[in-house]
Amino acid sequence: MANRASDTAMTETQCNCLAVRRAARQITQLYDRHLAPTGLRVTQYSVLSWLDRLGPLSIGDLAAAIVIDRTTLGRAIQPLERDGLLAVGPGPDGRTRCIKLTARGRATLATASTHWRKAQDEFEASFGKGASQALRTTMRHVVAAIRP
C-alpha cells in the first residue's frame, strides 16, 4: 500500500462526477466532429436550437431553459452574434435584452441539424437506440437529483 495520501486509490473509478465529465468530453468530441463543417460547436447548436423552438427571449430565460449559468450564456452568444446567427436587441424592459434568431442563423441551423442527425445516428448505432433513450432519462435524473 505504502505512500498513499489517503484512501483515494479508487477515487477515479468511483467518482460519479469524473465519470460523467469524462463521458461528456468524449461525446462532445464526436458531435463536434460532425458539426465542424458548419462552423458550430454542439453548445452553439443547442443555443440556436432552443432559440428556434422558443422564439425570441431574454438571456435569463434562455439560460434557464438550457440549464446553464446566465453569465456563461452571456459569453456563449458573443461568437454567434458576431457571426450574424442571432441578434441581441433591447427587450420590453429597460433591463432585459431580447435575443432572436436571424435568417442566417435559421439557415445555418437547418444545415447543422442534418449533421447533428449523423452524429446522433453514429452514436446510437454504437451505443444502442434503446440504451440512448435510457441514457437521456438517466441524465435527466442526475440533474434532478442535484439540489441547487
Partner DNA sequence: CGTCAATACGTGTATACACACTTTTCGACC
Partner DNA sequence: GGTCGAAAAGTGTGTATACACGTATTGACG
Contact 95, 60 (CB under 8 A): no
Q: What is the smallest separation between the CB atom of 10 and DNA, expressed in angstroms? A: 20
Q: What is the smallest separation between the CB atom of 130 and DNA, expressed in angstroms? A: 26
44 binds DNA (CB under 7 A): yes
Contact 123, 23 (CB under 8 A): no
Contact 19, 96 (CB under 8 A): no
56 binds DNA (CB under 7 A): no
Where does residue 5 rank: exposed (0-12), middle (13-18), buried (19+ CB within 10 A)? Answer: exposed
Q: Which residue has the cell 451505443?
A: 127
Q: What is the smallest separation between the CB atom of 79 and its own copies, expressed in angstroms? A: 18
Round to whole Å and give the CA distance between 143 and 147: 9
Candidates 31, 65, 39; CA nearest to 51 is 65
Question: What residue ranges bind DNA (CB under 7 A)?
Answer: 21, 25-26, 28-29, 32-33, 41, 43-44, 58-61, 68-72, 74-76, 79, 82, 88, 91, 93-97
Binding-site ranges for its own copies (CB under 8 A): 3-9, 11-31, 42-43, 45-46, 48-50, 52-53, 66-68, 101, 105-107, 109-110, 113-114, 116, 119-120, 123-124, 126-127, 131-132, 135-136, 138-143, 145-147
